[in-house]
Amino acid sequence: MPHAPLKNDLLLRALLRKPTPRTPLWMMRQAGRYLPEYRATRAKAGSFLNLCMNPELACEVTLQPLDRYPLDAAILFSDILTIPHAMNVGLEFEAGEGPKIARPVRTPADIDRLPVPDPEGELRYVMDAVRLIRRELNGRVPLIGFAGSPWTVGTYMVEGGGTKNFSHIKGMLYGAPDQMHRLLDVITRATTAYLNAQIAAGAQAVMVFDTWGGVLAPQEYREFSLAYMARIVEGLTKETEEGRVPVILFTKGGGAWLEDMVQAGADALGVDWTTDLADARLAVRDRVALQGNLDPSVLYAPPEAIRAQVARVLESYGRGHGHVFNLGHGIHPDVNPEHAGAMIAAVHELSPQYHA
């Protein structure tokens, strides 16, 4: 069945630097624990992983923030660790503790054992969720698909969970770079196939989350993170019968490397709050769109302060197209949902003047 035409295409237009009457916006982690309705659905699912693996419930939580706020995009409810999960490393999420991997990948033999999962096989539940969400959205807003960057996914696979020092993976990077490249290569092949399957299932834009690229030295960032994201961009389906499928790359802490990131061939770059959007725009010279970058902690302040900070972000990007408003990282779980509403209202109210 053909898809319903898009009623709100502001996000896709802005990602491709086409004119829009105002700045579109969505929030990283917009479906998440700050919403009571999300916590209720997760309780029904029994666990975070069950929620990800149940297409009906994943669809339900994807739509929750859209029912509450006038957002310009839906983002697939899932996680960047679905790929390692399908590679049989023994992923679990312990309540309040984050991801744990039972069999970390540390030796050449561990890397040899990793399969490239079939996106319509072991990961079919993700594609079923994409198909269902597209049907339920019925053209309301575009759906963003996503994956983690090979480097970021690799940190969880090698460390066995979250980490402060990145001791195992940096030991591998500096001590056995060939092995590091072999691991990143297999994750890259899996991720390219996975994102292309999301696009085939109906994702209208895709984003690569490089949460931990910023912990690398500049040369290592280019060799072990950016180069693999560039390979993914190169391997992606750029066009479907619905049109162009924009790609967003986001390296948290990557503000100094935006010029290098432009070379990777993405349509848009995510920027965190430690870089001024005016500086970012000078660095990319309108070759790509920019997404960001309100400090998520601004949402702890009262609505008037939130409005003033939204005004500063809009002013920093300045006049013209090619800006997608977002937080500089995921919304915090203990934020008052009304404060997110205040941010969104401020973008609607204050952004049209920059597009006149």
Binding site for ligand CP3 (CB under 6 A): 28-33, 42, 48, 75, 77, 79-81, 98-99, 146, 148, 162, 209, 211, 330
Smallest gap from Cβ 344 to ligand CP3, in A, equals 15
Q: Which of 13, 17, 22, 42 is catalytic?
A: 42
Whether 287 is catalytic:
no
**Is 33 noted as a catalytic residue in this protein?**
yes
Q: Which is nearer to ligand CP3, 297 or 305 (CB)?
A: 297
The minimum distance between CB 129 and ligand CP3, in angstroms, equals 11
Decide whether 97 or 286 has the Cβ nearer to ligand CP3: 97
Which one from 9, 17, 38, 79 is the annotated catalytic residue? Answer: 79
Catalytic site residue 156? yes
Q: How many other C-beta atoms lie within 10 A of the C-beta of residue 259?
A: 12
Q: How far apart are CA 156 and CA 191, in angstroms?
A: 15
| Closer by beta carbon to ligand CP3, 16 or else 153 | 153
Q: Which is the catalytic residue, given 34, 38, 69, 156?
A: 156
Catalytically annotated residue among 22, 29, 134, 231: 29
Strand duo 91-94 + 98-101: pairing? antiparallel
Q: How far apart are CA 149 and CA 187, in angstroms?
A: 9
CB atoms within 10 A of CB 3: 16
Q: Residue 251 corresponds to which tokens in the numbers above? A: 């390296």
Q: Which is nearer to ligand CP3, 17 or 29 (CB)?
A: 29
Question: Beta strand 268-270 with 289-294: parallel, antiparallel or unpaired?
Answer: parallel
Q: Is residue 309 within 8 Å of residue 303, measured between CB atoms?
A: no
Contact criterion met (CB below 8 Å) for 154 and 171 = no
3-state secondary structure of 247: strand
Q: How far is the CB of 337 from ligand CP3 (least distance, A)?
A: 14
319 an active-site residue?
A: no
* Residue 168 Cβ vs ligand CP3, minimum distance, rounded to whole Å: 16
> Which residue's beta carbon is nearest to the bound ligand CP3?
211
Distances (CA, A) of 39 to 12, 56, 98: 30, 16, 16
Active site residues: 29, 33, 42, 79, 156
